[in-house]
Structure 1
């Protein structure tokens, strides 16, 4: 039988060997990605030629001043109002059923097309033509929608006050 292992020797790797291994890994990485590196160098060269790198360096040097100016601009009343409005609109849009919005947008497009066609015909609207058009099922449906929309809007305004 073999003698039992009683001592385990841990292999010591010197810093020089670690550095050499890192250099070998880097060489391998460079050879594998030659084309990508050429493109990166080309992009960086173009950015340097047009002065973007100088501008970025100066911006980094003045980062505290830029941050102070940006925060000052963002905290202005008009900007905070815009942010609050966007958040309110986002909340409203998330509460609306997408199918209803799709149906309403399609109807709106159809209505705009019909309205443009009517403008081209230059037809006069009389009281009698209004009375007649109210009996049209499409117009009646739109009026019914509008009346109930206005009623709901008024109800919502009353609750807000």
Structure 2
């Protein structure tokens, strides 16, 4: 028969051995990730020079007061309206076709440039000049676009029978 085990030898680590092993592991990790660590240290240095780290430290030290102020600001009715409006704006933009928006924005930008040009050149438009511009194909295209816009708005706001 086998002999009974009466004594278990525990493997004890020496504190200096553990420290040396930990330092060795850290050096291996630092060596392996040298590029990333140098980049991170550069970023931290720039944040420190810009004062961002001081701001963050101040926020952390005063986090309870800052949190109370933030909660009070969020509980104001105008903040609720602002958040609802932002959500509504995002929903509105998500329903629009990007190509159609691009066309309208391009036309609007061109119109603003022409309007500024007229102001810079101090153009004066008389009654007969207005009558002549109605025949201009560009003006007619713009009127057609505006008419379509107004008709579309009217369809949306007209009470349904």
Q: TM-score range by the shorter chain?
A: 0.5 to 0.7
Structure 1 distance, partners of 2:158, 2:131, is 32
Matched, 1:72 2:72: yes
Structure 1 distance, partners of 2:90, 2:131, is 41
Matched, 1:122 2:123: yes
Residue in structure 1 matched with residue 3 of structure 2 by the alignment: none
Residue in structure 1 matched with residue 41 of structure 2 by the alignment: 40
Question: By how many angstroms is 1:143 displaced?
Answer: 1.1
Over aligned residues, Cα RMSD in angstroms? Answer: 3.8
Q: Please give the secondary structure, in 2, of the residue aligned with 1:124.
A: coil
The verdict on how the C-alpha distance between 1:87 and 1:159 changes in structure 2, with shifts beyond 3 A counting, is farther
Question: By how many angstroms is 1:154 displaced?
Answer: 2.3
Displaced runs of 4 or more, over 6 A: none
Residue in structure 1 matched with residue 150 of structure 2 by the alignment: 150
Structure 2 distance, partners of 1:36, 1:94, is 40
Residue in structure 2 matched with residue 5 of structure 1 by the alignment: none
For residues 48-104 of structure 1, the C-alpha deviation after alignment (integer angstroms, 9 at most, x for no partner) is 9x6945x64553343233212211112211112111111111111111111111111
Paired residues of 2:73 and 2:79 also in contact (CA < 8 A): yes
Q: Please give the secondary structure, in 1, of the residue aligned with 2:124.
A: coil
Moved more, 108-117 or 23-32: 23-32
Residue in structure 2 matched with residue 7 of structure 1 by the alignment: none
Aligned residue pairs, count: 146
TM alignment of 1:48-127, pairs within 5 A: 52-53=53-54, 56-119=56-119, 120-126=121-127
Give TM-score, length-normalised by structure 1.
Answer: 0.68
Structure 1 runs not aligned, ≥5 long: 1-11
Structure 2 runs not aligned, ≥5 long: 1-8
